[in-house]
Amino acid sequence: MREFVVPESASGFRIDLFLTQSCDGYSRSQIRDAVQNEGAEVDGRIIRPSYKVKAGQTVRFRVPPPASDDTVPENIPLDILYEDDGLVVINKPAGMVVHPARGNWTGTLTSALAFRFQSLSDVGGPTRPGIVHRLDRDTSGVIVVAKNNAVHLNLAAQWHDRLVQKEYTAITFGRLDRDRDWIHASIGRHPYQRDKQAIREGHATSKSASTFYEVVERHGRVTRVDVRPKTGRTHQIRVHLAHIGCPILCDRLYGGHSELSRSQIRRLAGTEVATPGVKPTAEGQEILLSRQALHAKALTFTNPQTGKEMTLTAPLPPDLQAVLDLLSSDSSL
């Protein structure tokens, strides 16, 4: 961490511009990405890249490590669901990036794998050893990793040919008028937000996408669904559920919230009504969810070495279970 006091001459500058001028050897885009990933504080408060500094404020900044083509091993615990001499299946926690990328060079799954295993496939290149498929940073659950190239290529072919069955649990906000249905809508790049995807028919970046969902339980306006995507487009489940008016709970990009307290979840479900001038209790203000409520709960594929079909499942993580427990307790009142 580096610390700066904002001089009078920099008052009114955006934080990313101020830090670019203060830190030699980094581009403004590198600085902006680091700030976007909660790398900067002003007077003890985490801020965004557009924040404008004032004279006299204290800025603390976590300087990003230099980009590297090599995966740096890190001793990060892994929840291993299955392992043999050809592959390993991990229950990835929410918040962990799968492989190094701009703004996320450390703390990745590949760094943890490089520390734990002596040999992994190199089909995906030096920054993606063993990685056959990926999950979004804030999506938890089952992910399979190849230990050698033959297994990697076999698994990749199963994904390409859509032979792998993927099942997710999502908690959504909105009313689904059907208990189960298919969503067929092409997905492409968002027209002006580079970190988002969008429903786009006939665009050069668009690809066909199909998702099946089935309602598991309803709690007012909040619904738990099982989701089985047929295709594997970027952000597919998140985009499709938002498209039908039921975005995933706490999905910052497609649902509008970055965190939700107990009281906020109850209000979304319709079990609590806000009273003007009355603040929620301390219990009600407790943050219950701070990431998208999406969990990859099961993968079914053929083991390349044994030829046998196998299904690996990951239990619902505590944060999502806590949301469902809250909603269930309200429903029983």
CA–CA separation, 272 and 105 (whole Å): 42
- Look at phi and psi of residue 312 and say left if phi exceeds 0, alpha if psi is from -120 to 50, else beta: beta
Q: HSE-up of 163 (CA within 13 Å, CB side)?
A: 13
Query: Is the Cβ–Cβ distance between 292 and 251 less than 8 Å?
Result: yes
CA–CA separation, 154 and 87 (whole Å): 11
**What is the sign of the dihedral through the CA atoms of 83, 314, 287 and 290?**
positive
CA–CA separation, 249 and 139 (whole Å): 12
Cβ atoms < 10 Å from Cβ of 221: 15
Query: Is the Cβ–Cβ distance between 149 and 174 less than 8 Å?
Result: no
Q: Which tokens hold the place of 228?
A: 């089985």
Query: Is the Cβ–Cβ distance between 176 and 223 less than 8 Å?
Result: yes
Catalytic residues: 136
CA–CA separation, 242 and 208 (whole Å): 17
Q: How far apart are the first and last CA of the chain?
A: 49
Query: Is the Cβ–Cβ distance between 111 and 54 less than 8 Å?
Result: no
- Nearest C-alpha neighbor of 206 from the set 234, 167, 169: 234
